[in-house]
Amino acid sequence: KTFGGKAGAFERLLGRTPRGLRAVRDVSFSISRGEVLGLVGESGCGKSTLARVIGGLLEPTGGDIAFRGVKPRLQMVFQDPFSSLNGRWRVDDIIAEPIRTHRLRPKGEVAGRVAELLEQVGLSPADGVKYPQAFSGGQRQRISIARALAGEPDFLILDEPTSALDVSVQAQILNLLRDLQSRLGLTSLFITHNLSVVRLMADRVGVMYLGELVELASADDIFTNPKHPYTRLLIDAAPDLDPIDRTLHPIPGELPDPSRPPSGCSFRTRCPYAQPLCAETPPPLRWEAAREVRCHFDLTPKSLSVPA
């Protein structure tokens, strides 16, 4: 299924973690060129697994990733800027590595390109001779971003890129990403458990629960008119008073063991609207008005206020 897609189509992924657990099932979406797709969900919902499958770090057990019919050039930025950079390499070598690997520039132009990338992420070309240890968490994340851009990706995967940073530094990195997004027209998948971050960054938002996509819609629709009960609970649980802190506040009930998901609808053990049908039959993703919802029922705000 392709929607809104001019260029890219990332489709149908079935992921397995190294433990053999089926962490991601039947997730299918497409991303248009220049679009930011946000993926949000509680920790353990499979969003990082999905990122790693798409990024090629985990072998999917089935499925396919296509970018205008060919394999896309992907780059990833990870959550932890302390473990994702090789401390034995100089920063200029770290950034030059994807340029050399993919032979993106003639030898004589690599140093100039590295200097340009350092400036693009708000660092100084003189920082290139230092080692990652010389930098703070936020600066290291800038280095990670420069390295990702150096690979000239068709598609960038950002997996919780600011979650490990202090709030003030987080804002700086988000601003940098927004700026790069608009200047370079990057196409990206932005994974986070923070609702305000996804609202700030994403054009469309996918909500994941227990390895499945349960709702996918424009960021506006997700935040102003969420349809899936899980999405609604997540958004209602976020305190409006504090626009900065919109991490995922707990919703009632426990996330089930992903290796033993409930029968039928995976959300039924926490859903206030569950019906007998929900335990029997898994709901398919329904396509309605530029939105996909994985629920048996069309829960309008009116019907939601009166649980059956």
Q: Give the Cα separation of 38 and 13 in Å (integer).
A: 17
Q: How far is the CB of 187 from ligand SF4 (least distance, A)?
A: 30
48 binds, among Mg ion, ligand SF4, none (CB under 5 to 8 A by kind): Mg ion
Q: Give the DSSP letter of residue 1.
A: -
Residue selected from 30, 48, 139, 141 as contacting Mg ion according to rule CB under 5 A: 48
271 binds, among ligand SF4, Mg ion, none (CB under 5 to 8 A by kind): ligand SF4
Q: Is 305 helix (H, G, I), strand (E, B) or coil?
A: coil
Nearer to ligand SF4, 240 or 254 (CB): 254
Q: Return the ∠ at Cα 160 (arms to 154 and 166), rounded to 5°.
A: 130
273 binds, among Mg ion, ligand SF4, none (CB under 5 to 8 A by kind): ligand SF4
- Classify strands 155-159 and 188-192 as parallel, antiparallel or unpaired: parallel
Q: Give the Cα separation of 158 and 40 in Å (integer).
A: 12
Give the side-chain half-sphere CA count within 13 A for 151.
Answer: 20
Contacting positions for ligand SF4 (CB under 6 A): 229, 265, 267-268, 271, 273-275, 278, 283, 295-297
Nearer to ligand SF4, 120 or 269 (CB): 269
268 binds, among Mg ion, ligand SF4, none (CB under 5 to 8 A by kind): ligand SF4
Nearer to ligand SF4, 132 or 258 (CB): 258
**Between the CA of residue 19 and those of 5, 83, 187, 259, 302, what are the distances in Å?**
34, 22, 31, 10, 43
Nearer to Mg ion, 48 or 266 (CB): 48
Residue ranges in contact with Mg ion by CB under 5 A: 48
